[in-house]
Chain A
């Protein structure tokens, strides 16, 4: 049901308190001093002037910061364990591995004084050669055994790709370069740390409070029970807050040092070097097809820049080798060790870029074959996953047909560079989209409590970072309990509550709703059982399955006039409240089902070929995320994802200056994201598909599928408009403009 956000009024009136707005008595302010070189050693740090500056409480460096209890080991936060963003903790020795790496932390009684003192810290470096671009490290590229904290193989293959390509009637070979991307959530990451003896409370802007709790406890050698993490509102994450980065633990260490609560908020420039990024990368794909469009070979290779600490790459080839039926596939990731921090999840990790490559190659194949691009996708549709397992739910063909119809695709003249309106060439393009459903999270838990007055509180340790989860879970809880939404308050954002995993990988709606639903229905069932066993109840002796609950009143399905309220049965039992826990354990990762969420993306662009400008006029998407829990918040998520994809296609990219080993853009004035004036009309079709595998409500999630495929649809539209294929993202003016 489309429901307004329950936290909307608090957000638009400013009443909502974000992490950096939490005020504690005696609060002090910490700021990081980041390394200005990408590689080397610290010869000397002069903290004298900083320590002498007004209001300064402490200046910590590697010389006096305590050692961490155990070194961090990267593991994706969805797994539910400690989840440091990199297998590295700064300020443990004098080594510098990347620019921006914290080399000192300054604490003062105001933010301004902390920042001023930080500017007075003098660091004398002995610089050593660094690698910060693919070009510099290409010759030393290697194929790691595994990726992603060891969870995924770096090479996946099936059949014989060489033979398949040799057999093909038509072959398409493409290669692309992708600039690094940054998340740029409007709220930069912030942590406020407050010690009470050996117990630590952290207010943290995170997509996973549990990940923060476990990571900080691990690094500081604390009992997990002594670390509480609270977050009420988070101003966007997009992956930058999916892992726990060093600044969080540094805030706790600084607070312990000064004996006061400490807030550490990253500045915008620091956010470019403190919470990961999407790595600079190149991808190449070869498709081999029969004349009728049947795919017989797909080779997909990725080369990307990783850190000195981790074999990290967004896994680009797992989805691209599943979307279409193809007997011979090969996906390989190769890495270059670079002097950057460990890259991280960035919205649509892997798929965002990998599916771009697949879907622009498929567009090219469609032109080679003279087949309509939608028709080609339909012909290549995979009835099962590559292991032969049925999809938990599909919907790709419906998405393609519905979105094509909404968009008006049928009237398209496929010939490139045929439509002109004044200075503008007009083109349309499309792409399929797919994003995995990952079953790597542990058991998810929630608690439901109802009071005799008919009001309920439902709790779980998830967090609201703009997705609408608070609203959706209020709906799910109300539905499960049979109460009106106004009678239910959903509480989250506190590790004292029952545990759920970090809401990453588009898993939030699925896993959190499953736990909340199970808690709510367990409580309902408990009270129904009480009523049917109670000789004083009008429902006495009824089969529980014959009882439904509506507006807080239990009643017989067949005779709705027979029934009573929760409060009535609780009153007879002298109960002021009743409570139940609910949990959900995902199927095993090797469950015999194909696990993808599907969609289709369409774009119309106007290209000024003289100036090289691309303006997106229309975006249309259709998505099949299982059951849609709240069409309003789902559409918002999908629109946001699609505009992200537009930014990826046209604007977003950062270059390293290899001489300095620093990013060239470290502000929102230099790193361009779309503004409202860039946003076109966006239409969305939601295709509901039944899914009995992904949890009791059959919801797959919409956090990332909206972002996947958009850039490919835009690139294909640019080709249609201009007749030129651009082999880099973002597609900036100098790439798009007609050559002189």
Chain B
């Protein structure tokens, strides 16, 4: 492991300043991704600024019925928070279906949104990878790409966004609060994740030194009927082949409102806006769900080993919506 410096400031302004002025600095929260990537030489930070002394651990009520998840609240704590379980079941389910109990006890909500991809070519430290070494190419496109994305891909990167939580947050229109050298701002969750395009090294709109402090869940009734379903090879401790976060309002056999997002298939947590548009005011039937799913996946860009994700995603969407209606 490369030698590096470590600091543990007690206030946010100091932490932000330390990272801002050093392009090779990074924040350290739960460390469950960062330390791994440092050890395998994929991250090469010279300074880690540990933010665990900062006061962002709580889950708080928001005016208007929403919840604020502190960026340093642990995945396990949020997953078992009564308010989250009752009002945002998809969030709780997504958290509990991610990682392992030990990791969830360490990993934070803010860190979860910043986790890096699981693409083997990114992580091996050797292969061409535009995300790790811009301009070197993408080994995955013509490589072993069973786990890779079929939506939001570019000729430069097809790595799948790995987060479960983010899929639920994208479905429920969460808001990411950040502080930084220029003050604070809020970013809509769907804008927080950036498509790879021709710059896959850039995954978020955050500037150097900007720090996530909270994630807000808006107070919407439909969220209480949300659900998260994850399809994976083994039954625990495994990333999704396909996952679906969904919430549905149906009356008199017609879809009145819908939230739908996909994991395991996109280069970012994938809000299924095409399918949502198809479903609005459509009959709440299996046929509608299948048609909407097919519409969403119609733009899929499949590779040698991941073509199965298209029918798998379509079937998962249809089943989840059928159960949710």
Which residue numbers of A lie inside 8 Å of B, CB to CB? Answer: 36, 54, 112, 115-116, 119, 269, 423, 610-613, 615, 650-651, 655, 657, 659-660, 662, 664-667, 669-670, 672, 674-678, 732-734, 737, 740
Contacts and interface: CB of A to CB of B under 8 A. Distances in A.
A657 B144 contact: yes
A625 B59 CA distance: 58
Nearest to B236: A677
Contact of B139 (A615, A657, A665): A657
Question: Main secondary structure on chain A at its contact with chain B?
Answer: loop
Given A36-B126, A116-B2, A119-B2, A423 B319 contact: yes
A112 B308 contact: no
A664 B236 contact: no
What is the interface of chain B mostly: helix, strand, loop, or mixed?
Answer: loop
Contact of B312 (A660, A677, A733): A733
Nearest to B44: A119
Interface of B: 1-3, 40-41, 118, 120, 123-124, 126-127, 139, 142-144, 146, 231, 233-238, 241, 307-308, 311-312, 315-316, 319
B120 A665 contact: yes
A583 B142 CA distance: 59
Given A657-B139, A737-B308, 20 more contacts: A54-B3, A112-B1, A423-B319, A611-B231, A611-B316, A612-B308, A612-B312, A613-B231, A659-B139, A664-B144, A675-B234, A675-B237, A675-B238, A677-B234, A677-B236, A678-B234, A733-B233, A733-B241, A733-B312, A734-B146
Contacts of A36: 126
A321 to B, nearest CB: 34
Contacts of B144: 655, 657, 664
B2 to A, nearest CB: 5
Contacts of A674: 234
Contacts of A651: 233-234
Shortest 10 CB-CB distances between A and B: which pairs? A734-B308, A664-B144, A677-B236, A677-B235, A740-B311, A610-B315, A112-B1, A675-B236, A655-B144, A36-B126
Nearest to B40: A269
A319 B262 CA distance: 48
A676 B237 CA distance: 10
Contacts, number: 79
Nearest to A667: B123
A202 to B, nearest CB: 27
B315 A666 contact: no
21 contacts: A116-B2, A119-B2, A119-B41, A610-B315, A650-B233, A659-B142, A660-B139, A660-B143, A664-B120, A667-B123, A669-B118, A670-B120, A672-B234, A675-B238, A678-B235, A733-B241, A734-B146, A734-B307, A734-B312, A737-B308, A737-B312
A646 to B, nearest CB: 10
Contacts of A269: 40, 124
A732 B233 CA distance: 7
A677 B40 CA distance: 28
Contacts of A116: 1-3
Nearest to A613: B231
Contact of B238 (A612, A657, A672): A672
Contacts of A737: 308, 311-312
A254 to B, nearest CB: 20
A224 B1 CA distance: 37
A159 to B, nearest CB: 43
B129 to A, nearest CB: 12
Contacts of A665: 120
Nearest to A647: B234
Contacts of B143: 657, 659-660, 664
Nearest to A740: B311
